[in-house]
Structure 1
Amino acid sequence: MQNFRNILICGISFFALSSCAGNEDYLQQSIAAFGPEDCEPVVEQQIDRLKIDRNKISNIDYLTYHISEGDSGEEYNYQGWVSFNNCKGNFVVDMNKSCQILKTYSLGNCRMEDIVAQN
C-alpha cells in the first residue's frame, strides 16, 4: 500500500509540474506546499497579474478548505482571502494543495473595478 501511495503521489506531482513547464514565471511549478501560507507567493503573483491596488489591501488570510475525509486520506484545498479597506468583501484565490490556482472570484461588494489600480 505504501508503494502504491508513493507512486500515486509521484505521478500526480509529475503531471502537475509538466503541465506548467512551459512558463518560467509560473510560480506553482516550484512550490511544495505543506500549509496554506506556503501558497503566499502564488497569491502575491496573482495580485500583481491582475493589477490589484496594494494600497487598498488591508489583510490577506491563508486558509485550508477541507473537502472530505476518507479511507485514502484527507482531501483539502488552500485559499488566499484578500480583504480591502475600500469595500466590504474579499477577493479569493482558490488553489489545490500544490498551490495551483483553480479559480479566483470576488465576494461581497468588492468588484474588480473597485480594487484594481487606476492608471
Structure 2
Amino acid sequence: MRVSQKKGVQSLGLALVLAMSTFAPLPVAAEDCQSQIDAEIAKLQLPPERVKKTFTIEIYNGQGRGGGRIERFEGWVVFKDCKGNLVVTMDRACRQQGNYTTYECQVPGVKHY
C-alpha cells in the first residue's frame, strides 16, 4: 500500500510542477518583448541608414473591459527611403509569429502586402 501512495504523491507533485509552469506570467507590456523584437529586426540586416525609427505596440483582443487582454505585440520599423513599414509580430509569450512589409517598402525575404 505504501508504494502506491508514494507513486500518487510523486504524480501529484509532477502535476503541480507542470501546472505552475503552464501558468507562468506572460509579458504585460510591449517593453517585455523588446529584446526579442530587436533580435528579429537584426536578423534582417537592415542598413542603419534606411531606418528612421522603430517602436513597439500592444494589440488587444478587444474583448472585455478596457479593451481585453493583450493578444500580441508588434515591432514597427519606419523607413527613410520608402513609404511604408516593416512589421515584426510576436505572440503574448514573445515568440515570433511573422514579419511583413507594407506599401512601397520591401525587405528581401519578407512577405510584402
- Normalised TM-score (structure 2): 0.65
Q: Residues 34 and 8 of structure 1: is their aligned pair in 2 closer, same or farther, counting only changes over 3 Å? A: same
Q: Residues 74 and 34 of structure 1: is their aligned pair in 2 closer, same or farther, counting only changes over 3 Å? A: closer
Q: Which runs of 5+ in 1 are unaligned?
A: 1-6, 14-31, 114-119
Q: Residues 47 and 74 of structure 1: is their aligned pair in 2 closer, same or farther, counting only changes over 3 Å? A: closer
The percent of aligned pairs where both chains have the same amino acid is 24
Larger-Rg structure = 2
Q: Does 1:10 align with 2:21?
A: yes
Q: Residues 58 and 33 of structure 1: is their aligned pair in 2 closer, same or farther, counting only changes over 3 Å? A: same
CA RMSD in angstroms comes to: 2.4
Q: Which runs of 5+ in 2 are unaligned?
A: 1-17, 109-113
| Residue identity opposite 2:81 in structure 1 | N
What is the CA-CA distance between 1:38 and the residue it aligns to? Answer: 2.0
- Normalised TM-score (structure 1): 0.63
Pairwise mapping of residues 1-119 of structure 1 onto structure 2 (< 5 A)? 10-11=21-22, 33-70=27-64, 74-113=69-108
What is the CA-CA distance between 1:8 and the residue it aligns to? Answer: 6.1
